[in-house]
Amino acid sequence: MTHFRAHILGAAAGGGLPQWNCGCENCNLARRGAIPPQTQSSVAFTANGTDWAILNASPDIGAQLAATPSLHPTGLRDLPLVSVLLTNGDIDHVAGLLTLREKQPFTLHATAGIHEVLGRNPIFSALDPEHVTRSTVALDRPAQIAPGLTATLFAVPGKVPLYLEEGEVKTDLLGDQTVGVHLSGGGCEAFYIPGCASFPDDLRDRLDGADLVFFDGTLWRDDEMVRAGLGQKTGKRMGHMSMSGPDGSIAAFEGLDIGRRVFVHMNNTNPVLRPESDERAAAQAAGWTIGQDGMEIIP
């Protein structure tokens, strides 16, 4: 019997839905309650049904934990949360660490490159080493992140965090600053890849046969933010492949044998966030689930 469960704490990309300063159609609909709001990027996993690892610590983590009974304290300072794992150093994935500073023991897993980014910023020393163990995870080597649950990190194309960009930015670097995660345990082989700039053949081979894949759903189309009048940035420039089009993730996943494929890390401009949109219907017709806050997936 499997005890594997994945719980989407936040299905949106950085900014969330609605984003505080955004007057786009989706953000306005969410503010009026016409479409469900979504918090920022994080998914919790368990292999034994009791102990949980959280992948990425979003700025919304306080509200996310409060909304998730399986992560509530079980005693005065006893918590089902045993670890946090980071897939990059972006603000939407690390700012929540500052909320977790209350002398609560847990292990913080990340690559050397991501730990180095945190180490350069003294505000993260608020995570007292007496309570929070920083574990450096090498690429392609399984690490236990919760009882019965291993995580193997692997490089996926991406870029340095926005706040570290300098000069000409390479948006599809392969290294230890942007990683995907292969989760194994509790009768399930799952992947969590909230940021990915392109889809190399070895990634395709890796994902084939998985029970469950959470994948970067930032934009529907590459120039979506430009067309909405929200700036000059394309998805490619942000280090994210889009859902639609010949180079998009929907096409890239075609023909793969995957039990369940779920989009996460959706930007607030993405039309799939509107339940009645044609784009959402198209993604679903291609076999995708559009992730949303509070969604629990038992493959």
Q: How far is the CB of 93 from ligand MLT (least distance, A)?
A: 7
| SS3 call for 296 | strand
Nearest to Mn ion of 91, 282 (CB atom) = 91
Contacting range for ligand MLT; rule: CB under 6 A; set: 89-97, 123-131, 142-150, 219-227: 89-97
Q: How far is the CB of 13 from ligand MLT (least distance, A)?
A: 5
Using the rule CB under 5 A, which residue among 6, 8, 24, 196 binds Zn ion?
24
Angstrom distance (rounded) from CA 24 to CA 93 = 23
- Which sign does the torsion angle of CA 41, 119, 104, 126 carry? negative
What part of residues 135-194 is at the interface with ligand MLT (CB under 6 A)? 162
Q: How far is the CB of 24 from Zn ion (least distance, A)?
A: 3
Task: For residue 50, give both structure tokens.
Answer: 């009791």
Amino acid residing at 66:
A
Contacting range for Zn ion; rule: CB under 5 A; set: 26-34, 138-146, 206-214, 244-252: 26-34
What part of residues 64-103 is at the interface with Mn ion (CB under 5 A)? 90, 92
From the list Zn ion, Mn ion, ligand MLT, none, which binds 91 (C-beta under 5 to 8 Å, kind-based)? ligand MLT
From the list Zn ion, ligand MLT, Mn ion, none, which binds 268 (C-beta under 5 to 8 Å, kind-based)? Zn ion
Bond preceding residue 80 cis, omega within 30 of 0? no
Q: How far is CA 143 from CA 45, 113, 229, 245, in A?
A: 14, 17, 43, 36
How wide is the angle at C-alpha 55 spanned by C-alphas 163 and 51, nearest 5°? Answer: 150
Does 27 bind Zn ion (CB under 5 A)? Our answer is yes
Residue whose structure tokens are 């953000």: 27
Angstrom distance (rounded) from CA 52 to CA 84 = 9
| Burial profile 65-82: b = 16 or more Cβ within 10 angstroms, e = fewer | beebeebeeeeeeebbbb
Task: For residue 9, give both structure tokens.
Answer: 């704490």
What part of residues 13-32 is at the interface with Mn ion (CB under 5 A)? 13-14
Residue count at the site for Zn ion (CB under 5 A)?
4
Residue whose structure tokens are 């076999």: 287
Does 258 bind ligand MLT (CB under 6 A)? Our answer is no
Using the rule CB under 6 A, which residue among 51, 92, 211, 224 binds ligand MLT?
92
Nearest to Mn ion of 4, 214 (CB atom) = 214
Using the rule CB under 5 A, which residue among 88, 244, 268, 270 binds Zn ion?
268
Contacting range for Zn ion; rule: CB under 5 A; set: 23-31, 47-55, 130-138, 154-162: 23-31
Angstrom distance (rounded) from CA 157 to CA 238 = 11
Instruction: Provide the binding-site residues for Mn ion, judged by CB under 5 A.
Output: 13-14, 90, 92
Contact residues toward Zn ion (CB under 5 A) are 22, 24, 27, 268
